[in-house]
């Protein structure tokens, strides 16, 4: 049923002082260079993602980064309403990064941004000044950036005079009698702050681009925990006559899901969320026969924001079943950032029971610090530890592992202590009380640490890396990581593609399996869909010794063979320029494995749906689009393996010595595949091409 609505009374029409939707500042006075030539279209270069502003533009003094200063001052206006409402973000430094209300040249009200230490958030927050005692006074608004250095900038937007503190909040009470609350989204619409109140408590609160008319798509809020209860939906910033709230509907289905998983750009064998945005893989853990994939998730829009832990499970790493959100924010603006999960087999935390160990998640709370939460229902729901936060520091993204020789837990954390980027290690006996152990510099975000055998030897090495995947090998004693080659050792490149970021590997994989399985965020913008971004295909990691030292390799997990459909094979075929023995192969989902021997070719490889994957034997280089990697033949041949989906081509060369995941959206009408032989022939020692079946129901 469509919800009815009730509006808060509005005494007089609001007066917009400035909405900053033009491409210049108009009559506002500008000093310095910080504010640029005009309002910004959101996030500026090298800035964290800016959210919480209204419309398409805002004031943003990050124009030249945090090294510039300036002021922006409005023309005089008469105060005619009880309140002035506005949005502000950025630095929290009184008098230096702030918004001032000036009357008779004096500051009578002031408001800073929210951030004063590394990390933080570029979200603008709504504020209200009570100016009821200043009616008929002439005033000016002054936006100030007089600080250089970290958080030396201010963001501001949408200054309005109003007789309502809430700025036109619409609300509706309803009885929860369906599974989902379907919410209409229009991309680019003003972001509205929405909350759901049950039993007098705010149980959900987030920002959403609420559609006023025909939505681009629908997102949903799971009502299961509130079945049979009375609830109230509130939306800030809506004006009388708004259709935004009236379109919200309860239903037992997700509206618009008739073609779920069959959308034109839905990857068919990579995980994507049903609706909304995903980024980092989180909490990868194997438990009771299931591979759990938690992930950074905005359930209410297709851009970054509103961070929750989404959740999906699989029995085979191929076929994923999305489950309800696992960890919700503690409150608005205290988001659930990245982290990890472990199975506390020995019940060191006391969270579990005999024969039923708890899954314990460690995550960054943006409002509190590093937190832990436990699950006693197989990872479906989590309860926060009452002693949170367990670590306070400048940083985020805890990766927790069990260090067997010391019989203790290790937490690797991205750390910005002293303004330097690195990984800090903490230790604990019980997952609750943590002690600092050591720190290593030169890493940014999403740390990962694990041990691997070196193939074909009796050696083992520890691997340490952060979000970009570039890694060090070395030794680890449970407290200190010592790189091979000493403190000056250079990191090695892992991913040579254009979309790899923020990977994680699985904890608690059974010994009889023994693999180190990794899933990374595939940073691929997927346009005009009700979802955005993807996970890269699961890979098995290995260490191999080469002439250059120990190197990490990646291969698709063997379960890919479960998706094979129609297949073809070729052997001992010489291909001259212009020939194409695989011309009959047409498809958008492919697994290609080949051993190629340049036999005079200046370039060889494949062209898949218009995208060239080419090896240059003279340069010993493998290239796809603008990415390339060194590749040397083995016994005169190279081995290529390609996974082709609707929005990506993942390239593996010489059994994973080169890993090049590429985010690519090929032309919809081009499903052709051909062998590339340029400047001379190439010999195909072996070639197999498998059409792949979709993993979705």
Going by C-alpha positions, the residue among 361, 663, 265, 646 that lies closest to residue 500 is 663
Residue 352 dihedral angles phi and psi, to the nearest 5°? -100, -170
Q: Write down the catalytic residue from 19, 66, 157, 280.
A: 280
Question: Which contacts (CB < 8 Å, 24+ apart) does range 625-631 have?
Answer: 625/498, 625/662, 625/664, 626/498, 627/496, 627/497, 627/498, 627/660, 627/662, 628/496, 629/493, 629/496, 629/653, 629/658, 629/660, 630/658, 631/657, 631/658
Residue 562 dihedral angles phi and psi, to the nearest 5°? -70, -15
First to last CA, the chain: 28
Q: Is 280 noted as a catalytic residue in this protein?
A: yes
Contacting residues for 544 by C-beta, under 8 A, at least 6 apart:
454, 455, 456, 550, 551, 553, 657
Contacting residues for 78 by C-beta, under 8 A, at least 6 apart:
136, 137, 138, 139
SS3 assignment for 556-616:
ECHHHHHHEEEEEEEEEEEECCCCCCCCCCECCCEEEEEEEEECCCCEEEEEECCEEEEEE
3-class state of residue 368 by DSSP: coil
User: For residues 590 and 581, is the Cβ–Cβ distance under 8 A?
Assistant: no
Contacting residues for 55 by C-beta, under 8 A, at least 6 apart:
19, 20, 21, 157, 158, 190
User: For residues 390 and 371, is the Cβ–Cβ distance under 8 A?
Assistant: yes
3-class state of residue 246 by DSSP: helix
3-class state of residue 76 by DSSP: coil
User: For residues 564 and 690, is the Cβ–Cβ distance under 8 A?
Assistant: yes
Going by C-alpha positions, the residue among 508, 504, 519, 486 that lies closest to residue 650 is 519
Distance separating alpha carbons of residues 79 and 108, to the nearest angstrom: 13
Distance separating alpha carbons of residues 518 and 358, to the nearest angstrom: 23
SS3 assignment for 309-357:
EEEEEECCCCCEEEEEEEECCCECCECEEEEEEEECCCCCCCCCECCEC
Q: Which residues are catalytic?
A: 280
């Amino acid at each position: 049923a469509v919800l009815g609505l009730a509006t808060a009374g509005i005494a007089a029409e609001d007066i917009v002082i400035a909405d900053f939707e033009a491409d210049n500042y108009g009559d506002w006075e500008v000093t310095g260079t910080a504010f640029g030539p005009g309002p910004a279209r959101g996030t500026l270069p090298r800035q964290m993602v800016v959210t919480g502003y209204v419309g398409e533009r805002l004031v943003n003094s990050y124009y030249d980064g945090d090294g510039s200063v300036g002021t922006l001052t409005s023309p005089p206006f008469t105060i005619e309403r009880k309140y002035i409402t506005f949005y502000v973000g950025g630095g929290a430094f009184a008098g230096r990064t702030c918004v001032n209300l000036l009357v008779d040249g004096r500051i009578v009200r002031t408001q800073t941004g929210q951030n004063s230490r590394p990390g933080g958030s570029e979200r603008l927050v709504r504020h209200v000044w009570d100016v009821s005692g200043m009616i008929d006074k002439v005033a000016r608004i002054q936006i100030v950036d007089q600080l250089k250095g970290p958080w030396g900038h201010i963001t501001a937007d949408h200054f309005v005079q109003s007789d309502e503190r809430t700025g036109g909040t619409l609300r509706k009470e309803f009885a929860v009698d369906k599974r989902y609350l379907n919410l209409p989204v229009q991309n680019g619409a003003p972001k509205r702050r929405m909350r759901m109140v049950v039993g007098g408590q705010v149980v959900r609160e987030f920002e959403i681009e609420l559609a006023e008319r025909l939505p681009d798509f629908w997102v949903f809020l799971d009502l299961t925990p509130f079945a049979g209860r009375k609830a109230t939906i509130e939306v800030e910033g809506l004006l009388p006559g708004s259709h935004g709230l009236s379109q919200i509907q309860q239903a037992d289905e997700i509206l618009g899901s008739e073609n779920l998983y069959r959308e034109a750009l839905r990857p068919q064998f990579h995980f994507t969320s049903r609706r909304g945005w995903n980024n980092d893989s989180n909490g990868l853990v194997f438990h009771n026969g299931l591979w759990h994939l938690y992930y950074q998730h905005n359930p209410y829009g297709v851009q970054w924001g509103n961070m929750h832990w989404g959740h999906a499970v699989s029995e085979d790493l191929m076929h994923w079943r999305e489950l309800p959100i696992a960890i919700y924010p503690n409150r608005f603006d205290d988001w659930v950032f990245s982290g990890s999960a472990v199975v506390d087999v020995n019940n060191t935390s006391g969270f579990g029971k005999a024969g039923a160990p708890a899954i314990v998640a460690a995550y960054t709370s943006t409002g509190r610090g590093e937190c832990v939460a436990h699950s006693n229902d197989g990872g479906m729901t989590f309860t926060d530890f009452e002693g949170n936060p367990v670590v306070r520091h400048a940083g985020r993204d805890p990766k927790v592992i069990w260090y067997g020789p010391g019989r203790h837990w290790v937490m690797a954390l991205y750390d910005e202590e002293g303004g330097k980027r690195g990984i800090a290690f903490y230790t604990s006996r019980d997952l609750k009380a943590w002690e600092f152990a050591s720190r290593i510099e030169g890493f940014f975000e999403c740390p990962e640490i694990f041990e691997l055998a070196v193939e074909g030897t009796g050696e083992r090495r520890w691997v340490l890396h952060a979000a970009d995947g570039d890694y060090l090998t070395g030794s680890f004693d449970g407290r200190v990581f010592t790189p091979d080659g000493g403190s000056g050792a250079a990191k090695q490149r892992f991913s040579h593609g254009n979309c790899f970021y923020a990977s994680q590997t699985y904890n608690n994989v059974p010994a009889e399996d023994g693999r180190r399985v990794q899933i990374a965020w595939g940073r691929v913008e997927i346009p005009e869909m009700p979802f955005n971004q993807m996970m890269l295909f699961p890979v098995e990691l290995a260490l191999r010794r080469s002439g250059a030292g120990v190197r990490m390799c990646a291969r698709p997990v063997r379960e890919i063979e479960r998706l094979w459909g129609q297949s073809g094979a070729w052997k001992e075929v010489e291909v001259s320029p212009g020939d194409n023995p695989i011309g009959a192969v047409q498809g958008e989902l492919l697994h290609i494995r080949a051993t190629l021997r340049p036999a005079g070719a200046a370039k060889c490889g494949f062209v898949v749906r218009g995208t060239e994957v080419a090896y240059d034997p003279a340069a010993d280089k493998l290239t796809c689009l603008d990415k390339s990697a060194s590749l040397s033949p083995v016994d005169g041949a190279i081995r290529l393996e390609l996974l082709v989906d609707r929005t990506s081509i993942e390239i593996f060369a010489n059994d994973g010595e080169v890993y090049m995941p590429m985010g690519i959206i090929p032309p919809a009408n081009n499903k052709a595949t051909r062998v590339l032989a340029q400047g001379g022939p190439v010999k195909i020692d072996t070639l197999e091409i498998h059409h792949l079946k979709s993993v979705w129901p």
